[in-house]
Amino acid sequence: MVQGLPGTTSCNRPFDVIHKVIKAEGFRGLYRGFGLTAVTQSPASALWWGAYGSAQHIIWRSLGYTDDAAKKPSHMEMVTFQAAAGMMAGACASVITTPIDTVKTRLQVMDNYGVGRPSVLKTAKALLKEDGWRGFYRGFGPRFLNMSLYGTTMIVTYELIKSMLVIKRAN
């Protein structure tokens, strides 16, 4: 990911990376950032689902669809609006969680800042010093695309399977 950047170790293949990480940091080095990943993904998922529900509600209401209305959306409208709500949810979740993800990624891939084992605080301070507050949103575009496309694909598949099960139960 950071191959070729100044101050990084050059590696030739995946097993070379594993060997060099274990040699430099021990087996524990392979899991650098794992805890922060778990701390990032749980709120990101919760934010995504909450934003998805809200976005879907806003979209349906703005188009005149209500629970008690006789007007029912077509299958294509359902998929389109669910995909749009998934994209909106990805945008919302990525705006909120990108800073901690940026710190986590730096913690995982960059060499130590200063003396001693890298930490979240050291990494965040170095990022702030180097790039200011804007630096915490490095990688926002790819994170937004990841969360939006993954979430949209997942939710459309989920909603499709759910609707198929409802139809199957009705028969």
Q: Same domain, yes or no, for 97 and 72?
A: yes
Q: Residue 15 has what pLDDT?
A: 83
Domain hosting 8: range is 1-31
Q: Residue 89 has what pLDDT?
A: 92
- The pLDDT tens digits of the residues spanning 24-46 come to 778 887 887 788 788 888 888 89
What's this model's pTM, rounded to 2 decimal places? 0.69
Residue 139 has pLDDT above 70, yes or no: yes
Residue type, 95: V
- Distance between CA atoms of residues 79 and 61, nearest Å: 16
Helix (H, G, I), strand (E, B) or coil at 94: helix
Per the CB < 8 A criterion, the answer to whether 71 and 128 are in contact is no
Number of domains in the chain: 2
- Distance between CA atoms of residues 109 and 2, nearest Å: 7
Q: Same domain, yes or no, for 69 and 99?
A: yes
Q: Same domain, yes or no, for 51 and 82?
A: yes
Name which residue leads in pLDDT, 116 or 91. 91
Q: Same domain, yes or no, for 13 and 40?
A: no
Q: Residue 69 has what pLDDT?
A: 65
Q: Same domain, yes or no, for 20 and 93?
A: no
Max mean pLDDT range (35-44, 47-56, 161-170): 47-56
Q: What is the 3-state secondary structure (H, E, C) of 148-159?
A: HHHHHHHHHHHH
Name which residue leads in pLDDT, 56 or 34. 56
Q: Same domain, yes or no, for 37 and 12?
A: no
Q: Same domain, yes or no, for 15 and 88?
A: no
Residue type, 109: V
Helix, strand, coil share of the chain (percent; to 5): 75, 0, 25
Q: Same domain, yes or no, for 68 and 105?
A: yes
Q: Same domain, yes or no, for 15 and 80?
A: no
Q: Same domain, yes or no, for 11 and 64?
A: no
Q: Same domain, yes or no, for 13 and 42?
A: no
